Structure 1
Amino acid sequence: MSLIQVTNLTFAYDGSYDNIFEGVSFQLDTDWKLGFTGRNGRGKTTFLNLLLGKYEYSGTISAKVSFDYFPFHARNREKMAIDIVDEIYPEYEYWKLARELNLLDVTEDVLYRPFSSLSNGEQTKVLLAALFLKENSFLLIDEPTNHLDMGARQLVSDYLKSKRGFILISHDRAFLDNCVDHILSINRTNIEIQKGNFSDWWENKQRQDNYELAENDKLKKDIKRLSGASKRTGNWSDEVEKSKNGTRNSGSKLDKGYVGHKAAKMMKRSKSMEQRQQSAIEDKSKLLKNIESSESLKIAQLNYHKEQLAEFDHVSIQYGDRTVCEDISFTIGKGERIALSGKNGSGKSSLIKLLLGERISHTGTFRVGSGLKISYVSQDTSHLEGNLTDYARDNGIDESLFKAILRKLDFSRLQFEKDISAYSGGQKKKVLIAKSLCEEAHLHIWDEPLNFIDVISRMQIEELLLEYEPTILFVEHDREFVSHIATKIVEL
């Protein structure tokens, strides 16, 4: 056991006037399994990069361990997977690697295939196995669950549960609950550490938020009273000073020296009182510093003229000689929230492409209602660029509504001025979801909409779908989200 000590850490990117971290201090035990949480854009990945020494900062970070980052950047992804392992840790012992792969339910033959040919799940497992082979290393794991199906997520979570000494960024609540013993959270104004899993942390946070909100009315009254007293105190000396030019009584002149001396004393006293009152106002205001904004979202779906929007009747999809899914039958009815479930490669995206009107080779019968308008959120965000105003105009959506939704999803005004290509992965996903919420549609199709999106925003989206009950077909590997939202699960 050793400590990672962070003292007075302050950091801002070049050219930015806003500090991402300011005077932050805390310490971590290298045996801890830390879940790292916070809203998108708060600086989680930035902090990992600071630990890795990628940026200059003020303050100190001291540790007796080396830091390694997941996902490891493979310079040549066409190499055999075993060669990538060799890049990560040339001194590894093969039997130890085989043991780690066995724990992750991966056969050794994947090591002798080009790394690029492995599935997302296989790549994740090989990299984690190799990185955990290194001794005296503290692993920084950045969103390993993206694009992993539920089965793979469970395996990776169980594997991490058996390890120690890592910081894990993930927004999957069930995944975190299973494998971490501490939570490191970036809040609006500070960084905190709590013992326990994500549910423990969330319960504590809700308790604290509820306490602060219960105090809110009382605080507002106190602040209003103190502000009024401060204003009155500031006016005292002004009134005395004005009396210099007045009269004492029946035309006799005032002693201006005496009045001036009295005014100066009053001014000094009033300033002292004003400072104390202002300090009290600031102290009371600080009590509300970490309540997260999570305003409710809205969705206004068009009413379709039929109860059934689409139907798959014994549909099978082929790519050349390969059948990706077979004998699929289900309908999409008005008001249904349908989760397409299955391993990666089982045909979920192919069925979505059929619904979107793409020409996909298939057998069986596929019917879609006439005049059906669909709003689509894709997995891919790589095409996003330019400013939000142009993006709204190019997609024919209301700019004010679009930006209002992004504000509710924790976008700052500063984000509105940046190029979308500079956004974090979660912020890019929020752009796609906000666009979809602005579009007039009978059916929403969301393909892995929650990748990279923070937990609080996920809960906002859950509340939206439960309150407005839109017709939606979605693919999502977040177990909690699916169990809360889906009215029907189609297993492929």
Structure 2
Amino acid sequence: MSLINVTNLTFAYDGSYDNIFEKVSFQIDTDWKLGFTGRNGRGKTTFLNLLLGKYEYSGSISAKVSFEYFPFQVENKEENTIDIVDAIYPDYVHWELMRELSLLKVSEDVLYRPFGSLSNGEQTKVLLAALFLKENSFLLIDEPTNHLDMEARQLVSEYLNSKSGFILVSHDRAFLDNCVDHILSINKTNVEIQSGNFSEWWENKQRQDDFELAENEKLRKDVKRLSEASKRTNSWSHEVEKTKNGTRNSGSKVDKGYIGHKAAKMMKRSKSIEQRQHSAMEEKSALLKNIESAESLKISQLVYHKHQLAELENVSIYYGEKQVCPPVSFTIEQGDRIALSGKNGSGKSSLIKLICGENIDYTGTFRKGSQLKISYVSQDTSHLQGNLTDYARENDIDESLFKSILRKLDFSRVQFEKDISAYSGGQKKKVLLAKSLCEKVHLQIWDEPLNFIDVISRMQIEELLLEYKPTILFVEHDREFCQNVATKIIEL
């Protein structure tokens, strides 16, 4: 066991006036399985890069371990996988590598195939196995789940649970719960560490938020009451002071000593009320700083003139001679929230492309309603560039509604000035989702919409789909999201 000490860490990117971290201090035990959470754009990957020494910063980061980053960058994917492992860790012992691959249910033959021929899931597992062979290293594991199907996520989470000494960035609640024992969270105004898994952290956060909201309301009423009392006392004091130079109703002379004493007493009471008011306002200002804004999203779908929007009967998809999707049958009806489920490579994205109207070879019967309008969110965000105003105009969507949705998904106004290509992976995905929510369509089709999206935004999207019940077909490997949202699950 050793400690990683972060002391007064302050960092901003060149040309930016806003610090991502400002005088942040905390300690990490290198034996922990540390889950790392926070909304998109808060600086999770930036912090990992600071640990790796990629940027200059003020403050200090001290550690007696070396840091290794996942995913390891593979320059030449044509090389055999065993050569990639050798590049990561030349001193590995073969039987130890076999042990790790066995735990991850990866067969030995993948080592003698080109790395690029492996599935995304196999690539993820091989790189994790190689990195965990390194001794005296603390692993920085950045979003390993984005290319894993549900079965692979379960397996990798069990593997990580058997290990220790890592920071894991993931937005999959079930995945985090299964393999971490501490949570490092980047909040709005601070960074904090808490023992336990994600669900325990979230429960504590909600409890703290509820306490602060109740306390804030109590103090708001106190401030209002004290403000009114202060005004009354000041008014009385002023009236009493005025009688000093006047006479009483009886015509007798005014007792100036008595009135002065009374006025002073009232002034003292006024000062006391002001101090209590000031204390209450200070206490109030210390609250609510880390409560996440998660305003409700809205969706307004067009109503299709028929109950059934599309139907597939024994549809198989082919690329040349190769069958990529075995026969599948299902219908899409108004109000359905259909999750397409299955291992990577089982044809989910190909089915989606067929329904969206792409020219894809298939057998079986496929019927789609005439004049059916579809909004499609793809896995790929690499094409996004330019500013949000131009993007809204090019896609014929309402710019103010588009930006309003992004604000609700935790975009700051400063993001609106940036080029979309400079956004984080999660922010780019939010652009595609916001565009989809602006489009007037009969059917939403989303292909892995939650990749890179932070947990709180996932919950907002969940609530949206449950409240408005739009017709949607989606592929998503977040188990909890699928269980909460889907009315039908089509297993491929």
When normalised by structure 2's length, the TM-score is 0.90
Partners of 1:279 and 1:47 in 2: CA distance:
36
1:82-119 Cα shifts (integer Å, max 9, x gaps): 11111111111111111100000001111111111111
The answer to which of 83-92 and 210-219 deviates more is 210-219
1:444-466 Cα shifts (integer Å, max 9, x gaps): 00000000000000000000000
The 1:226–1:400 alpha-carbon spacing in structure 2 relative to 1, beyond 3 Å, is: farther
- Is the Cα–Cα contact under 8 Å of residues 10 and 59 in structure 2 kept in the other structure? yes
Does 2:205 correspond to 1:178? no
> What secondary structure, in the 3-state scheme, does the structure 2 residue paired with 1:288 have?
coil
How far is 1:422 from its partner?
A: 0.6
1:164-313 to 2 correspondences below 5 Å? 164-224=164-224, 281-313=281-313
The 1:45–1:233 alpha-carbon spacing in structure 2 relative to 1, beyond 3 Å, is: farther
- For the aligned residue pairs, the C-alpha RMSD in angstroms reads 2.6
- Is the Cα–Cα contact under 8 Å of residues 443 and 472 in structure 2 kept in the other structure? yes
Please name the residue that 1:63 is paired with.
63
Please name the residue that 1:323 is paired with.
323
AA at the equivalent of 1:465: L
Q: Which structure 2 segments of 5+ residues have no match?
A: 239-244, 247-269
1:403-448 Cα shifts (integer Å, max 9, x gaps): 1101110111111111111110000000000000000000000000
AA at the equivalent of 1:135: E
1:24-39 to 2 correspondences below 5 Å? 24-39=24-39
- Is the Cα–Cα contact under 8 Å of residues 2 and 64 in structure 1 kept in the other structure? yes
AA at the equivalent of 1:216: N
AA at the equivalent of 1:75: E
The 1:148–1:389 alpha-carbon spacing in structure 2 relative to 1, beyond 3 Å, is: same
AA at the equivalent of 2:490: V
> What secondary structure, in the 3-state scheme, does the structure 1 residue paired with 2:144 have?
coil
Please name the residue that 1:341 is paired with.
341
The 1:226–1:453 alpha-carbon spacing in structure 2 relative to 1, beyond 3 Å, is: farther
Does 2:396 correspond to 1:396? yes
Partners of 1:234 and 1:451 in 2: CA distance:
60
AA at the equivalent of 1:126: V
Please name the residue that 1:264 is paired with.
none
- Is the Cα–Cα contact under 8 Å of residues 226 and 281 in structure 1 kept in the other structure? no
- Is the Cα–Cα contact under 8 Å of residues 229 and 273 in structure 2 kept in the other structure? no
- Is the Cα–Cα contact under 8 Å of residues 315 and 326 in structure 2 kept in the other structure? yes
Does 2:138 correspond to 1:151? no
> What secondary structure, in the 3-state scheme, does the structure 2 residue paired with 1:295 have?
coil
> What secondary structure, in the 3-state scheme, does the structure 2 residue paired with 1:421 have?
helix
Please name the residue that 2:142 is paired with.
142
Q: Which structure 1 segments of 5+ residues have no match?
A: 240-247, 250-269
How far is 1:222 from its partner?
A: 3.8
Partners of 2:93 and 2:229 in 1: CA distance:
73
The 1:390–1:183 alpha-carbon spacing in structure 2 relative to 1, beyond 3 Å, is: same
Amino-acid identity (%): 81
1:121-161 Cα shifts (integer Å, max 9, x gaps): 01100100000000000000000000210011111111000
Please name the residue that 1:259 is paired with.
none
Give the number of aligned pairs: 470
The 1:117–1:198 alpha-carbon spacing in structure 2 relative to 1, beyond 3 Å, is: same
Does 2:71 correspond to 1:92? no
Please name the residue that 1:72 is paired with.
72
- Is the Cα–Cα contact under 8 Å of residues 24 and 190 in structure 1 kept in the other structure? yes
Partners of 1:339 and 1:47 in 2: CA distance:
35
> What secondary structure, in the 3-state scheme, does the structure 1 residue paired with 2:141 have?
strand
AA at the equivalent of 1:307: H
Please name the residue that 2:12 is paired with.
12
Partners of 1:316 and 1:2 in 2: CA distance:
55
How far is 1:278 from its partner?
A: 5.5
AA at the equivalent of 1:351: L
The 1:5–1:401 alpha-carbon spacing in structure 2 relative to 1, beyond 3 Å, is: same
AA at the equivalent of 2:383: H
How far is 1:227 from its partner?
A: 7.2
> What secondary structure, in the 3-state scheme, does the structure 1 residue paired with 2:435 have?
helix
> What secondary structure, in the 3-state scheme, does the structure 2 residue paired with 1:146 have?
helix
Partners of 2:282 and 2:230 in 1: CA distance:
13
Partners of 1:22 and 1:178 in 2: CA distance:
32
Partners of 1:234 and 1:77 in 2: CA distance:
79
- Is the Cα–Cα contact under 8 Å of residues 144 and 170 in structure 2 kept in the other structure? yes
> What secondary structure, in the 3-state scheme, does the structure 2 residue paired with 1:164 have?
coil
Partners of 1:72 and 1:362 in 2: CA distance:
37
AA at the equivalent of 1:204: N
Please name the residue that 1:263 is paired with.
none
- Is the Cα–Cα contact under 8 Å of residues 226 and 274 in structure 2 kept in the other structure? no
AA at the equivalent of 1:303: V
Partners of 1:149 and 1:48 in 2: CA distance:
25
Please name the residue that 1:255 is paired with.
none
- Is the Cα–Cα contact under 8 Å of residues 219 and 280 in structure 2 kept in the other structure? no
1:347-358 to 2 correspondences below 5 Å? 347-358=347-358
The 1:306–1:2 alpha-carbon spacing in structure 2 relative to 1, beyond 3 Å, is: same
How far is 1:221 from its partner?
A: 2.9
Please name the residue that 1:363 is paired with.
363
The 1:20–1:274 alpha-carbon spacing in structure 2 relative to 1, beyond 3 Å, is: farther
- Is the Cα–Cα contact under 8 Å of residues 7 and 59 in structure 2 kept in the other structure? yes
- Is the Cα–Cα contact under 8 Å of residues 84 and 115 in structure 1 kept in the other structure? yes
Please name the residue that 2:410 is paired with.
410
The answer to which of 82-91 and 367-376 deviates more is 82-91
> What secondary structure, in the 3-state scheme, does the structure 1 residue paired with 2:147 have?
coil
Please name the residue that 1:45 is paired with.
45
Partners of 2:381 and 2:198 in 1: CA distance:
28
The 1:311–1:92 alpha-carbon spacing in structure 2 relative to 1, beyond 3 Å, is: same
How far is 1:282 from its partner?
A: 3.6
The 1:476–1:95 alpha-carbon spacing in structure 2 relative to 1, beyond 3 Å, is: same
The 1:369–1:74 alpha-carbon spacing in structure 2 relative to 1, beyond 3 Å, is: same
The 1:89–1:226 alpha-carbon spacing in structure 2 relative to 1, beyond 3 Å, is: farther
How far is 1:192 from its partner?
A: 0.9
The 1:119–1:463 alpha-carbon spacing in structure 2 relative to 1, beyond 3 Å, is: same
